[in-house]
Amino acid sequence: MSMRLLLGWLCSLLLGGSIWFAVAGLPRRWSDALAVSGYAVLLGVLGSGLLVGLRRDVPGEGIFLATLPLLGVAIVVLLGVGYWRSRRASPALAVTVPPAESLPRWCWVLLALITLRFAFVLDEAILRPVFAWDAWNAWSLKAKTWFSLGQVPYLEPSAWWQDGGSAGRTALAWRYPELLSRAELWFAGAAGAWNEGAVATAWPVLWLALIAGCAGQWMALGVPRLHSLILAYMLASLPLLSVHAGLAGYADLWVAAALSFAVLSWLRWVRDGDRAQLLLAVLCTVLLPLLKFEGAVWALLLVGLALLVQVPVRWRWVGLGVGALLVVVAVIGSWLLQLPWLTLVGDTLSGAATSGDDVSRVTAAFAFVNGLFGQNNWHLLWPLLIACVIWRRDVLFRQRDAALLGLLVAGGLTALLCLFVFTPAAKWAASETAANRLVLHWVPLALSLLALLLRDVQWPARTQPSSPR
């Protein structure tokens, strides 16, 4: 890894860390320290991608130096805001770090296993040139082109034919969101060349950040440290998640991280009323549609639920009606403005985006369920979650954060089940190409639900209280 690439990483992490600092101040608890190490990667890398998008005319390695001043200004401003906010905060809020709860020695084995897995996925990502189909078909194609020519526009095919200049490009993924491609461009610029191994480092680091961020937020939500560590190991051990870290290039890991961090921050706000966490939730939610179309759907689901629970009970039906009306207005507005997302939805639901023979609903449903329970993607996650929901069902009625998370996960999986069983997208379920990748978006939250369900369980050998740390 070159010094330039290291500098690029350092700048991104500084940017991400300063966003947390500006919003939530210095982390003063173990849980927040762990969470910020996760959020800093997601917010920092994607923030760098957004800043790269402001220098569209600069090609090649020059994009790195052209973006550095913007990054520097952003970091200074954010640090200034954070410092100003911390000065305004009451001294009484400047709590000291409580002593860490000791963990049994065998827990170090779990940490060692996570570290070992990280070393493997990092080495795989660096060594293997971009491999997975959509990685080079959708995101790397744009980044590679932009690295050579500057950020030329990607046009729909008829506009490409009529483009009188020489800049416009087209591709099958011309309407895909471009933030991830810009993040790739940032790392290519930092590496000083279209170095696929250097670009790929972002995926294993994000994988580790996802685990750290979730573990930190679980602890902040009152999950005991030991539980959080075990669940962090379980998250790290999930096969398809490590595949997405090792075979770098897909957007699904980023969507999973942004969705998980948005929801966990929102739950902290629901539980503790911490406005900084609400702001972090908003930031992560805003990133979702910039990553992938499905991210926009998940963002709508989250925002819809978040707004609904804020509405007084007697107004909820009215709220639902207003929400439905807004959806209709959004669809009509998108149709009038010819927004690409509507075409994508239309193509998917009509079957224009899929190819191959029709498949029966039973076949599609079986393939979807087989992906959850039968294949090697998720170990025993889904049977375990179902068993724990049945065993700890009273928690869903007693604890608001667990109930809301349960509702969200159920909503997300139901949406996927409907998509892959009742629409032409069933072909993707039957061919086992897309269903598990979209399920991946919800996997960290499924483990988070497990964490909240088991939060108050007192194991006979350990009876420490489960207060937030």
Partner 1 sequence: MQRAVVVIVLVWFLLIGIFLEISPFQSPWPQQRYALEGAEFAALAGGQIDGDGLAITTPDENYGALLVRSVEIADAAQWPVLRYRFDSLAPSLEVAFLYRRADSPNDVRTVNLTRARMATGSIDLSRENDWRGAITEIGFAVYPVTQSVPPEQAFRPFVLRGAEFWSPSWTGRAAAVATEWSGRRAWSLMSISALGPDNGVVRSRSPVLLLALGLGFTLLLLTQFTPTTTLRTVQVIVVAVAAAWILLDLRWSLSFADRHAATRQVYAPLEWPQRQQQLADADVLAAAQSVRQALRDDGADPDTVRLLVDAKSDFLRARFIYHLAPARTGPLNLTGWRVATAETGPIYFATFEQPEPQFDAADSRLRIDSDFSVPARQIADAPPLRVYRIGPENTP
Binding site for partner 1 (CB under 8 A): 113, 117, 120, 123-124, 127-129, 131-137, 140-141, 144-149, 157-158, 160-164, 166, 168-172, 193, 195-198, 234, 237, 239-240, 242-244, 246-247, 250, 370-371, 373-377, 379-380, 383-384, 387, 432-437, 460
3-state SS, 395-414, equals HHHHCHHHHHHHHHHHHHHH
Give the DSSP letter string of 172-210: TTTTS--HHHHHHHHHHHHHTS--HHHHHTHHHHHHHHH
Nearest residue (CB) to partner 1, 275 versus 393: 393
The minimum distance between CB 73 and partner 1, in angstroms, equals: 30
Strands (DSSP E) found in 247-395: none
The minimum distance between CB 244 and partner 1, in angstroms, equals: 7
Nearest residue (CB) to partner 1, 84 versus 133: 133
> What's the rounded Cα separation, in Å, for the pair 142 and 188?
12
The minimum distance between CB 129 and partner 1, in angstroms, equals: 5
Q: Any idea what the Cα angle at residue 159 is, between residues 155 and 163, rounded to 5°?
A: 100
The minimum distance between CB 250 and partner 1, in angstroms, equals: 6
Q: Quick one: how far is CA 125 from the chain centroid?
A: 19
Nearest residue (CB) to partner 1, 201 versus 277: 201
The minimum distance between CB 58 and partner 1, in angstroms, equals: 15
Nearest residue (CB) to partner 1, 291 versus 302: 291
Nearest residue (CB) to partner 1, 152 versus 205: 152
Nearest residue (CB) to partner 1, 40 versus 122: 122
> What's the rounded Cα separation, in Å, for the pair 369 and 435?
10
Q: How buried is 135 (Cβ within 10 angstroms: 0-12 exposed, 13-18 middle, 19+ buried)?
A: buried
Closest by CA position to 194, among listed 146, 232, 123, 251 = 146
* Token code pair at residue 399: 């604890």
Nearest residue (CB) to partner 1, 18 versus 448: 448
- CA dist 122 → 117, 139, 425 (Å): 8, 20, 33
The minimum distance between CB 304 and partner 1, in angstroms, equals: 29
**Matching residue, tokens 């930092």:** 190
The helix, strand and coil proportions of the chain, stated in percent and rounded to the nearest 5, come to 75, 0, 25
The minimum distance between CB 4 and partner 1, in angstroms, equals: 14
> Residue 26, Cβ neighbours under 10 Å: how many?
13
**Matching residue, tokens 């959509």:** 134
Nearest residue (CB) to partner 1, 43 versus 447: 447
- CA dist 105 → 170, 208, 222 (Å): 56, 22, 22
The minimum distance between CB 309 and partner 1, in angstroms, equals: 32
